[in-house]
Structure 1
């Protein structure tokens, strides 16, 4: 969503933030547990570079990391979650903004990488006539209310664009419902029956990977609800806001996933709604793994036989040809991957 992902300044900032978060976690758990979360975060960085291999020892460290962080969140925010009024009446929705597909590229699509533009085009082709709204720096105020104190913390560099995009997706669903998809989703099939016929939806691949506490049971980059179930995301959004109201740094990168699990643990209705999501898109991550490989039509047919949403990335470069053969990436950007 934003440029300059791999700058030295950003890396130094992230290391400092992780050291600070380790100390904060230790304050409410223990130093051995907190250091375990630091080790697991290092495991995730290695996995990002080795094709997400997850040997048993790494899996165990990741699971312990999630247990420790939930212990931290419960000690710090459990009382807030218990006191929260999950049944409070929802404000009326705006009919003109219901049922939208929401994506975001802060700078606008004109400045987005080609792979992002192709992904958004594929979402539009498969939206079944629903409007696909591209949220940007210039227009987000038309669709959601962001508290002034959040804007102030963003101006001071405390809340990043990544944090703001997390709040954006929760706020859009809390206020209007609809479907949020990250802008790097390549879509090869109709969204209507898969998403919009259900009260709550997310990509679900049970016990898939353990980098996130979601562990495949939901995915923060793909969330949807109808108008009647906006209250679920209102609660998750309010948990997220409470975190940032009482914190000036990010204790973990995947904050949305922890807030979703926290909400499930404190509200049976939210837990039941997420449990009711039918498993879908089992090969969501597999197109990304072969983007730089020579295109193989049989392999492509297998890939999208039971999957129509593929999570890609703009943060890596891929060749258009390998050994003089067009790659999957070439087929995608030249719009030759069949839906």
Structure 2
């Protein structure tokens, strides 16, 4: 295990001890680690299995309810909304987020664009009081409220959810797809999604079985818990749907590959027109990170990718 992985591991133990109990720590962290240390091939994240079992037990009734439900195979339409959320509102966006939003406005390809904030979210979805109470009590972060919000919006209205730090490189054309999410041909077992989907970009018609299941599973989980068993709970719910419902698995597997370099762009690298042009041509979206420090010019006064990006007018 690398140093950063060890730090994350011990932080997760402290968190589980604080909000759950020692037996949960044993099942979800210590036992999987001991098991994998003696496994041929070295360390792998077997805690995924433990988290899946824990969550699957809590939401077992939801899984059984959806096992026989048919999927809604309606497709994404040109009239469906694109949803972006910045909780504080447009005027409080950091520069990179504001630039992403500005460029998105020119790439919607006719889709209405709706910015979700703390001031207007309840105009589009109605969340149960106990969810809002969890946020007000500090037991659920805005980040994880947004996980529920995106699923609620898609379940109720359909369309495309984009995280606010998505750089849209070309007019969005995902119409006629039953489901859309960026995926990668390269496997990455460090994450339960294994690059088969990215929950920061999700599209589909309203009442899609996956969105309905994940929403109901969220409600079931939070009625029983006041804390997250894992930061990526939404991905575990997607995985449980993927493993248990053949129609959902086939729908996800049928999603086209559109973003082979989704998270690989180095914004601080020197701007190379041909290299960046190639990346923009082969990726519909690029996922950026507003929390990092970027500079428009490096120490040699050379334009960076970030500088190029911030200079775009849409």
TM-score by length of 2: 0.85
Deviations 1:177-228 (A, max 9, x none): 1000100000111212xx222011100113443332111110110100023x
Structure 2 match to 1:282? 260
Q: Which has the higher contact order (CA 8 A, sep 6+)?
A: 2
Structure 2 match to 1:6? none
Number of residue pairs matched? 296
Structure 1 residue 73: Cα displacement: 2.2
- Which runs of 4 or more aligned residues in structure 1 lie more than 6 Å from their structure 2 counterparts after TM superposition? 12-15, 34-37
Q: Is 1:105–1:183's contact at 8 Å kept on the other side of the alignment? A: yes
Gaps of 5+ in 1: 1-11, 40-55
Instruction: Compare the two structures and name the one with the higher helix fraction.
Output: 1
Q: Is 2:16–2:24's contact at 8 Å kept on the other side of the alignment? A: no
Deviations 1:224-280 (A, max 9, x none): 0023x5232011111112111111111111111100111222222222211221222
**1:231 corresponds to 2:213:** no
For 1:220 and 1:242, locate their aligned partners in 2 and report how far apart those are by CA, in whole Å: 20
Structure 2 match to 1:253? 231
The change in CA–CA distance for 1:30 and 1:204 in structure 2 (over 3 A counts) is: closer
Structure 1 match to 2:98? 117
For 1:191 and 1:291, locate their aligned partners in 2 and report how far apart those are by CA, in whole Å: 22
Task: Give the counterpart of 2:274 among 277, 298, 314.
Answer: 298
Task: Give the counterpart of 1:321 among 289, 297, 302.
Answer: 297
Structure 1 residue 170: Cα displacement: 0.5
Q: Is 1:36–1:65's contact at 8 Å kept on the other side of the alignment? A: no
Gaps of 5+ in 2: 1-9
* SS of structure 1 residue aligned to 2:59: helix
Structure 1 match to 2:123? 142
Structure 1 match to 2:134? 153
Task: Give the counterpart of 1:221 among 200, 217, 224.
Answer: 200
The change in CA–CA distance for 1:104 and 1:29 in structure 2 (over 3 A counts) is: closer
Cα RMSD for the two superposed structures: 2.9
* SS of structure 1 residue aligned to 2:84: strand
TM-score by length of 1: 0.79
